[in-house]
Each structure stands twice: as C-alpha cells, then as structure tokens.
Amino acid sequence: MSIHKSMLVFGVILLLVTVACSLTGLFSPAPTETAAPPPEQPPADTPEPTATADQYAGIEHTMIPGEPVLVYWAYDCDTGRYTKTANQPVIGGGCDQWAINFIERPTNQDLSMYYPHLDITRFQMGKNETWIFADIQTYKPEGSTTVLNGTYALEIDFDMDSDGDLLVMVINPSTGEPGEWRTFGVQVWEDVNDDVGGDTPFFGEESNPGDGYEVMLFDQGLGDDPDLAWARLSPDDPATVEFAFKRSLVPFEVTKYLWWTWASQEVLVPGQFDYNDTFDDDEVYQIGNSCRWIFDGPPEPLPNICKYQQPTEEPGEEYCLIEYTVNLGEFPYTVGNCGPCPQDCDAYNEIPNMSCSVGCEP
Ligand SMILES: [Ca+2]
Ligand SMILES: [Ca+2]
Ligand SMILES: [Ca+2]
Ligand SMILES: [Ca+2]
C-alpha cells in the first residue's frame, strides 16, 4: 500500500510539474504533452469500498416470498387528485396535522413542488401461512414514470395503544427490478423499551424524551433470520412498493393490530420516532404517513383511523355499499364502493362519516 501511495504521490508531483511547465509557456499549446492522464487510481489501489459490502455478500436465503396476498386495504389522502399542476400542490383539509402525527407533505416547504412518489394514496396488508404482505401505493401521474427513490415504511402497533412497536422499512426500492424480492435496503426495527410516541403517544410534544426504535432486528439479511423481511417494486405498478416479512415478527398473543405507512425522501431515522416529537411542525417536508387501519379485526374508532376500507373478499357473499364522506372544508364529497359485505356492516355506521348498507349491484 505504501509503495502504491508513494508511486501515486510521485505521479501527482510529476503531473503538477508538467502542468506548471506548460502554464509558464503561456502560448505554447502543448496539450498532448500535459495530457498524461490524471493519475486515476487503478482498481488495485481501491480495495476498501468492497470490504464493507462483504458483510452482506455471504448471506444465503432459503425462503423467498411468493406472490403477495393482500386483502385489507385503505385509502390515504390523495393529494395528487387535487393537484392539477406540479408546482401548485393542493393538500386536502385535515390531511396534514403534525400535532397528531398525521402527515401529508409530498411537497416542499413553500408548496411550490409536488412529489407524487411520496404521496401515499392506498395501502394494503394480507398474510399466508409464512408471511405478512403489505404494499404502499403512491400517486401515479398520467404520462410520467414513477421512481420510488425515497424510504418507504410500515409502522405496526401491536397493542393498539397509538404508538408504533415495529418499523419495517426499505430505502430506495427503485434500484431493484419490478417483481424481484430483495433484502437490499430493508431494515426492521423494534421499540423494545416502549417509548416511541414519548410521554404523549400520537400527540406531538416539545422534544422527544425517548430513543424511538432502538433495536435493529434485521439489516439487509443480517440478523437472526436472513429471510426476515423483503421488499420489491410491484411487477404490475411502478408506483407501488411491496413488503413481505415473517409472521414470527408478530407476537404470539397478538390476533389483530394497527398498521400505517410512510414515504419520505430523506431516509427515515428509526431513533427519531415519533417525528412529531423530535421535529417541529415546520422542519420536515417531502414526507408523509397514512391513516391507520386494523389488520385482522373489525374497524374501531381509534386515533387517525382510516375512514374508508373494504375488508376481505369472500365470494358468494351479499354485496354492501360502503360510503365515506370526505370533508374538505366547504367541499364535502362522498366516495362509495359496492363490494362483498364486511363481517359486521353495522359497525361501519358507528364510525364518523362512514356508512354501510346491505344490497347493491357491484
Ligand atoms: Ca397521500
Ligand atoms: Ca404500541
Ligand atoms: Ca408524543
Ligand atoms: Ca425506544
């Protein structure tokens, strides 16, 4: 190494002397002489960058997820729908409430740029005997190609007390091929000491008294289980990222839980959750999370719960019309969907702005 280095230094000095010589002969255009190529480091001199990658290189996978099973789904605020031009984003009333950790900022700070790949519009979850599957769908503008180069994450609240307990995230899934499951960029973090959300879960506070998600269970194949969590670009939709993680991440006693999703241009920092405790309202942009939905359970009126949802499809069932009234200030509108009836249609009528009625034509 020292030999290489000294040769390199010698080469640089030689080059500098040559350049100086040609500069002193101001009008002597001797470009070919000085054009001795800059001493680009030969490959043999740059062994270091690959050394850090080696810790991932030997990882062997035995279980790779198959086709996702996605049965629960919910809508998030659809900023793209109201944004007619990319330099004039329109965020729906109530969609961005930093104080209650409900964030819709697929924009820059002064609202002069809209970033559709950070605008979560819909998200899903399902399971088979081995895996929990999930996806995050972002706004897909007509006639342009989506590049999902942000960080996308699932936050899961197993005890349904409004603070997240597990964080599954993927950094820049756009580097993968559509349909190819990878652990590249995938991490799983746990809040073992239960201080995500600080003193007031869900509500923001002056400063973050906790350490967020402090235990990393999985880093791109490193961890107790090299196959613990995966992500990929959807094979069907370039604006959708899909996740799969082992059911072993769900505590044995948990039968249903809350989950919600994130999209952020900056890499999400697990130790800074909740973001509305760590940061002030005007400090973070190009970021958003979704409303929350319950996996494997009926809807309940919980903080930030999503207002529109269609549960598991069961063929042969009656069809129900589920409607949700979105209140955008002076412009309320109602969206509805006719699909297989949920287990308890009446329960929807207990949720503000929602209704369910049996008997419609799909
Ligand atoms: Ca959104
Ligand atoms: Ca919790
Ligand atoms: Ca808090
Ligand atoms: Ca913690």
**Are 78 and 139 spatial neighbours (Cβ–Cβ below 8 Å)?**
yes
Shared domain check, 242 and 116: yes
Residue 288 CA: which ligand is closest? 1
pLDDT of the residue at 346: 85
Residue 281 alpha carbon to ligand 3 centre in Å: 13
Shared domain check, 211 and 116: yes
**Are 127 and 69 spatial neighbours (Cβ–Cβ below 8 Å)?**
yes
Give, in order, the Cα–Cα distances in Å from 155 to each of 79, 160, 229: 21, 12, 14
Q: Among 262, 288, 306, which residue terminates a domain? A: 306
pLDDT of the residue at 4: 47
Q: What residues flank ion ligand 1 with Cβ within 5 A?
A: 76-77, 119-120
Residue 210 alpha carbon to ligand 4 centre in Å: 6
32 contact partners, CB below 8 Å, separation of at least 6: none
66 contact partners, CB below 8 Å, separation of at least 6: 128
Residue 163 CA: which ligand is closest? 2
d(C-alpha 360, C-alpha 80), whole Å: 29
Q: Residue 260 in 3-state DSSP?
A: strand
Shared domain check, 18 and 126: no
The answer to whether residue 54 sits within a structural domain is no
Closest CA relative to residue 353, chosen from 330, 319, 327: 327
pLDDT of the residue at 34: 41
The answer to whether residue 65 sits within a structural domain is no
Shared domain check, 261 and 204: yes
Helix (H) or strand (E) holding 5: helix 2-24
Q: Among 46, 63, 81, which residue terminates a domain? A: 46
Residue 191 CA: which ligand is closest? 4
Q: What are phi and psi of 26, to 5 degrees?
A: -55, -45
Residue 336 alpha carbon to ligand 1 centre in Å: 19
Helix (H) or strand (E) holding 219: strand 215-219
Q: Residue 134 in 3-state DSSP?
A: strand
pLDDT of the residue at 207: 95
pLDDT of the residue at 122: 96
Q: What's the domain count of the chain?
A: 3
∠ Cα 142 261 83 (to 5°)? 30
Q: What residues flank ion ligand 2 with Cβ within 5 A?
A: 157, 159, 161, 163, 165
The answer to whether residue 53 sits within a structural domain is no
Query: CB neighbours (10 Å) of residue 289?
Result: 23
Shared domain check, 276 and 322: no
Residue 201 CA: which ligand is closest? 3
Burial class (CB in 10 A: 0-12, 13-18, 19+), 124: buried
pLDDT of the residue at 76: 92
AA letter at 88: Q
Query: CB neighbours (10 Å) of residue 296?
Result: 16
pLDDT of the residue at 27: 36
d(C-alpha 55, C-alpha 267), whole Å: 21
The answer to whether residue 61 sits within a structural domain is no
Closest CA relative to residue 171, chosen from 267, 245, 272, 270: 267
**Are 290 and 76 spatial neighbours (Cβ–Cβ below 8 Å)?**
yes
pLDDT in tens, 260-283: 999 999 999 999 999 999 999 999
pLDDT in tens, 31-65: 334 444 444 444 555 455 555 657 898 899 999 99
Shared domain check, 29 and 169: no
Residue 324 alpha carbon to ligand 3 centre in Å: 29
The answer to whether residue 59 sits within a structural domain is no
Provide the domain limits for residue 221.
Answer: 72-306
Shared domain check, 165 and 99: yes
pLDDT in tens, 126-147: 999 999 999 999 999 988 889 9
**Are 323 and 354 spatial neighbours (Cβ–Cβ below 8 Å)?**
yes
Q: Among 306, 333, 354, which residue terminates a domain? A: 306
Shared domain check, 162 and 35: no
d(C-alpha 231, C-alpha 168), whole Å: 10
pLDDT of the residue at 48: 53
Whether residue 211 is preceded by a cis peptide bond, meaning omega within 30 degrees of 0, is: no
Shared domain check, 254 and 195: yes
Residue 139 CA: which ligand is closest? 1
The answer to whether residue 194 sits within a structural domain is yes
Residue 136 alpha carbon to ligand 1 centre in Å: 10
Shared domain check, 207 and 100: yes
d(C-alpha 85, C-alpha 184), whole Å: 34
Residue 253 alpha carbon to ligand 4 centre in Å: 21
Shared domain check, 253 and 297: yes
If you count them, how many residues does the chain have? Answer: 362
Residue 30 alpha carbon to ligand 4 centre in Å: 64
Mark residue 5 as left, alpha or beta (left: phi above 0; alpha: psi -120 to 50; beta: remaining).
alpha
Residue 79 CA: which ligand is closest? 1
Q: Residue 323 in 3-state DSSP?
A: strand
What residues in the chain have per-residue pLDDT under 70? Answer: 1-53, 308-317, 326-333
The answer to whether residue 274 sits within a structural domain is yes
The answer to whether residue 122 sits within a structural domain is yes
Shared domain check, 336 and 271: no
d(C-alpha 229, C-alpha 242), whole Å: 11
d(C-alpha 234, C-alpha 320), whole Å: 29
Residue 257 alpha carbon to ligand 2 centre in Å: 9
